[in-house]
C-alpha cells in the first residue's frame, strides 16, 4: 500500500496492483477520469513527488507533458507514496455506477446520421448523475458509452447517437431498434461536469459533432443556472460540417452560441481555431471541451498558448470503441 496525497490535503491508500483512480474510488474519493483505459486525457494529473508505473505509452500525453511529470491516473499504478496536483471531487455528489434495465421510449431522427434515443427507467429506479456524465449501454454482449444529453430532472434519459459505418451498435440503433426494446444501462460514469468556479470571468464550451450532448445537459440543468450566471461571458462553439446539421440551439439569454461549420464558406473552419477570435482574458477563463480527441488536444494547446491556465481546461474525448 502507498499513501496518495492530494492538493486539498486529502489522502488515501492505494495498492500497487490497482490504478490511482481505482484506489481513490475504493476509498470513496473521486479523481478526474472518463474512459478508464488510457485513451483520452481526462485523468491527466501532474505528479509532484513519487514514482508510478504503467504498461501503456500514454499516447494522449505530449512529450512536454511527460517531461513535466504528467501521467494518466486511470492506468498508472503507484510504486511509492505520491503527492498529486489533483483534488477530490466527491464534494459534488457523485454516486457509484449502478446497472439497471431501461426501455427505449422514443427514437427521433435529428439528421441523416444522428438520432436521439429516449430511455425510460423502471418507476422504482432513480439513478443519480451529474449533467455531463456518461452511461454505458449493454446490449447483446456489446458495451458502448454515450454521454447523457438530458438534465437529471427530466423524465427521460436522452442519448444522441451517430451512425458509424459497420459499427455494431450503429447497426442496432439505425436498423433494428424499436420502441419498448429492453436494454441495460450502467449509470453514471466520468467526471465531466460543471464545477464551481469563483472569480472567473468567462466560460467557453467547445463541442464537435455529438460532443454537444453533455454540454446540452449542462446548459439545460436547473441546478447549473446559478453557476452559469456568475460568469460575465458564456460562449458555446459547436462544430459541424453544415448548418443543416445543427439540431439544437441553446436559446438562452446568457449564452453566446457560435456555430462553426467546416464545409461551408471559402475556408474550412474548426472549433479550436475560432478560439483566437474570442476577445477574452484567457487568464480568467475556464474551458470545457467535448468531442473528437484531435480537437481536444489542439484546443488545449491553443488555449494555453492564449494564456489559459492548464488546470482550467476540462475535457471529455470521444475515442473509438474498437
**What's the pLDDT score for residue 251?**
86
For 313, other C-beta atoms within 10 Å of its C-beta total: 22
Q: What is the CATH number for 37? A: 3.10.20.30
Q: What is the CATH number for 237? A: 3.40.50.80
Residue 51 lies in a domain: yes
The phi and psi torsions of 294 (rounded to 5 degrees) equal: -60, -45
Cell triple for residue 159? 442519448
**What's the pLDDT score for residue 320?**
66
For the chain, list residues with pLDDT below 70: 320-322
**What's the pLDDT score for residue 112?**
94
Do residues 99 and 184 lie in contact, with contact meaning Cβ atoms separated by under 8 Å?
Answer: yes
Do residues 264 and 292 lie in contact, with contact meaning Cβ atoms separated by under 8 Å?
Answer: no
Instruction: Please indicate, yes or no, whether residues 185 and 117 belong to a single structural domain of this protein.
Output: yes
**What's the pLDDT score for residue 308?**
97
Q: pTM above 0.95?
A: no
Residue 145 lies in a domain: yes
Using CA of residue 212, residue 315, residue 125, residue 91, what is the dihedral sign?
Answer: negative
Predicted confidence (pLDDT) per residue in 205-230, tens digit:
999 999 999 999 999 999 999 999 99
Instruction: Please indicate, yes or no, whether residues 124 and 165 belong to a single structural domain of this protein.
Output: yes
**What's the pLDDT score for residue 264?**
86
Domain boundary among 41, 70, 92: 92
SS3 per residue for 81-111 = CEEEECCCCHHHCCCCCEEEEEEEEEEEEEE
- Residues making up the chain, counted from first to last: 322
Instruction: Please indicate, yes or no, whether residues 302 and 242 belong to a single structural domain of this protein.
Output: yes
Cell triple for residue 227? 453557476
Residue 239 lies in a domain: yes
Do residues 216 and 290 lie in contact, with contact meaning Cβ atoms separated by under 8 Å?
Answer: no
**What's the pLDDT score for residue 39?**
86
Residue 197 lies in a domain: no
Kindly state the DSSP code that residue 200 receives in the 8-state scheme.
-
Instruction: Please indicate, yes or no, whether residues 29 and 70 belong to a single structural domain of this protein.
Output: yes
Do residues 21 and 33 lie in contact, with contact meaning Cβ atoms separated by under 8 Å?
Answer: yes
Per DSSP, the three-state class of 212 is helix
Continuous segment of H or E residues that includes residue 175: none
Residue 194 lies in a domain: no
The phi and psi torsions of 64 (rounded to 5 degrees) equal: -65, -45
**What's the pLDDT score for residue 124?**
87
Number of domains making up the chain: 3
Instruction: Please indicate, yes or no, whether residues 161 and 262 belong to a single structural domain of this protein.
Output: no
Residue 260 lies in a domain: yes
Instruction: Please indicate, yes or no, whether residues 271 and 237 belong to a single structural domain of this protein.
Output: yes
Domain boundary among 73, 92, 111: 92
Instruction: Please indicate, yes or no, whether residues 216 and 308 belong to a single structural domain of this protein.
Output: yes
Residue 19: name the closest of 6, 5, 42, 38 by CA.
Answer: 38
Q: What is the CATH number for 170? A: 2.40.30.10
CA distance 231 to 219: 13
Residue 195 lies in a domain: no
Instruction: Please indicate, yes or no, whether residues 245 and 173 belong to a single structural domain of this protein.
Output: no
CA distance 113 to 245: 10
Predicted confidence (pLDDT) per residue in 46-104, tens digit:
999 999 999 988 988 989 899 999 999 999 999 999 999 999 998 898 888 999 999 99
Show contacts of 303-311: CB within 8 Å, 24+ apart: 303/275, 306/275, 306/276, 306/282, 307/281, 307/282, 307/283, 308/282, 308/283, 309/283, 311/85
Domain boundary among 77, 92, 107: 92
Residue 107 lies in a domain: yes
Instruction: Please indicate, yes or no, whether residues 118 and 208 belong to a single structural domain of this protein.
Output: no
Instruction: Please indicate, yes or no, whether residues 251 and 232 belong to a single structural domain of this protein.
Output: yes
**What's the pLDDT score for residue 35?**
86
Instruction: Please indicate, yes or no, whether residues 292 and 214 belong to a single structural domain of this protein.
Output: yes
Helix %, strand %, coil % of the chain (to 5): 25, 35, 45
Instruction: Please indicate, yes or no, whether residues 88 and 102 belong to a single structural domain of this protein.
Output: no
**What's the pLDDT score for residue 319?**
76
Using CA of residue 33, residue 35, residue 37, residue 39, what is the dihedral sign?
Answer: negative
Side-chain-facing half-sphere of 173: CA atoms under 13 Å: 28
For 72, the domain range is 2-92
Residue 161: name the closest of 113, 120, 207 by CA.
Answer: 113
Amino acid at each position: 500500500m502507498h499513501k496518495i496525497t492530494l492538493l486539498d490535503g486529502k489522502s488515501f491508500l492505494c495498492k500497487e496492483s490497482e490504478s490511482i483512480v481505482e484506489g481513490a474510488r475504493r476509498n470513496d474519493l473521486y479523481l478526474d477520469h472518463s474512459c478508464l483505459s488510457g485513451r483520452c486525457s481526462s485523468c491527466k494529473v501532474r505528479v509532484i513527488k513519487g514514482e508510478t508505473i504503467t504498461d501503456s505509452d500514454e499516447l494522449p500525453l505530449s512529450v512536454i507533458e511527460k517531461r513535466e511529470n504528467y501521467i494518466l491516473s486511470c492506468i498508472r499504478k503507484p510504486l511509492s507514496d505520491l503527492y498529486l496536483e489533483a483534488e477530490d471531487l466527491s464534494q459534488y455528489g457523485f454516486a457509484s455506477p449502478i446497472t439497471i434495465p431501461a426501455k427505449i421510449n422514443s427514437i427521433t431522427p435529428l439528421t441523416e446520421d444522428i438520432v436521439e434515443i429516449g430511455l425510460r427507467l423502471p418507476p422504482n429506479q432513480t439513478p443519480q448523475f451529474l449533467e455531463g456524465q456518461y452511461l454505458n449501454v449493454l446490449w447483446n454482449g456489446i458495451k458502448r458509452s454515450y454521454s447523457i444529453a438530458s438534465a437529471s430532472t427530466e423524465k427521460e434519459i436522452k442519448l444522441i447517437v451517430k451512425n458509424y459505418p459497420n459499427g455494431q451498435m450503429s447497426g442496432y440503433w439505425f436498423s433494428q431498434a424499436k420502441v419498448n426494446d429492453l436494454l441495460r444501462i450502467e449509470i453514471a460514469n466520468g467526471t465531466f461536469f460543471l464545477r464551481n468556479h469563483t472569480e472567473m470571468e468567462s466560460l467557453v464550451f467547445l463541442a464537435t459533432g455529438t460532443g454537444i450532448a453533455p454540454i446540452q445537459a449542462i446548459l439545460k440543468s436547473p441546478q447549473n443556472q446559478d453557476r452559469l450566471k456568475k460568469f460575465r461571458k458564456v460562449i458555446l462553439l459547436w462544430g459541424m460540417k453544415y448548418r443543416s446539421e445543427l439540431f439544437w440551439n441553446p436559446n438562452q439569454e446568457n449564452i453566446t452560441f457560435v456555430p462553426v461549420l467546416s464545409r461551408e464558406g471559402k475556408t474550412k473552419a474548426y472549433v479550436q481555431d475560432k478560439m483566437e477570435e474570442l476577445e477574452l482574458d484567457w487568464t480568467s477563463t475556464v474551458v470545457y471541451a467535448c468531442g473528437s480527441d484531435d480537437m481536444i488536444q489542439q484546443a488545449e494547446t491553443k488555449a494555453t498558448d492564449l494564456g489559459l491556465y492548464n488546470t482550467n481546461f476540462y475535457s471529455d474525448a470521444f475515442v473509438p470503441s474498437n
